[in-house]
Amino acid sequence: MNTIHKQLDSDTPSVIDVHGVSKYFDEVHAVENLTFSVSKGQTMALLGGNGAGKTTTISMLLGLLLPTQGSIQIFGEDMLRHRYRVLPRMNLTSPYVDLPMRLTVRQNLTVFARLYSVPNLKVRIAQLAEELEFTEFLDRTYGKLSAGQKTRVSLAKSLLNEPELLLLDEPTASMDPDTADRIRQYLMDYQSRTGSTLLLASHNMREVEQLCDGVMMMRAGALVDQGTPQTLLDKYGRSDLEQVFLDVARQEH
């Protein structure tokens, strides 16, 4: 496994600053008093079981949901007041957000490239299709793709604007092991080339160990532990992060 974790300088600026954030849906406390930061150039994992609050947190980072209380700053901008200043500098990929089924892959990517005012969009789309190995189905309708193919197209969509902050929700879902490994290497190369910041939500602990410099563990809407992968392995006396994940998920609330 090619695993290289960066050592960040203490004065590296933060890209994400979340302070005291909660999100309530009537009586449901989806996120409770969440505080964390992610530094520029860092790859951070946001882990937790189903219902832990990961998707709600990512939605608030994107400005799709407003927090009930607390503050979120991205690139130093308050997401409650000035999110449109930073949205062009970030993007999201998720296998749970489908693109229009009747449009071809090329048409879908063209629409999003125009939304982001991507220069030379035809060249950019062709480049991503080649790098992510889906040139052969650029003119196939999105609805006819396999789940793994859709995941690759979603990743390409998220990279159209070369984001400085990339939010990755299960970026290798439904991919075979070989393709998933290629995608992970691609993401590491992308970050190395651009100096971008990555926030990764994944249930693939091998992926987290390979990609991430830091790990945040959520349970029942709260942040319950965090550290480097090695720090958490040492703390829980485990040999891999999957065992740590199970330990945290099964702790009494």
- Residue-by-residue pLDDT tens, the chain, 253 positions: 444 455 555 578 999 999 999 999 999 999 999 999 999 999 999 999 888 999 999 999 999 999 999 999 999 999 999 999 999 999 999 988 899 999 999 999 999 999 999 999 999 999 999 999 999 999 999 999 999 999 999 999 999 999 999 999 999 999 999 999 999 999 999 999 999 999 999 889 999 999 999 999 999 999 999 999 999 999 999 999 999 999 998 886 5
Q: Do the beta carbons of residue 103 and residue 144 sit within 8 Å?
A: no
Closest CA to 205 of 182, 238, 162, 252: 238
CA–CA distance from 205 to each of 40, 45, 58 (Å)? 23, 10, 19
Q: Do the beta carbons of residue 95 and residue 174 sit within 8 Å?
A: yes
Task: Tell me, yes or no, if the pTM score tops 0.75.
Answer: yes
* CATH number of this structure's domain 14-93+164-249, picked from the four choices 3.40.630.30, 1.20.120.160, 3.40.50.2300, 3.40.50.300: 3.40.50.300
- Residue 152 in tokens: 């690759």
Residue at token pair 């984001």: 163
- The torsion angles phi and psi of 92, rounded to 5 degrees, stand at -135, 140
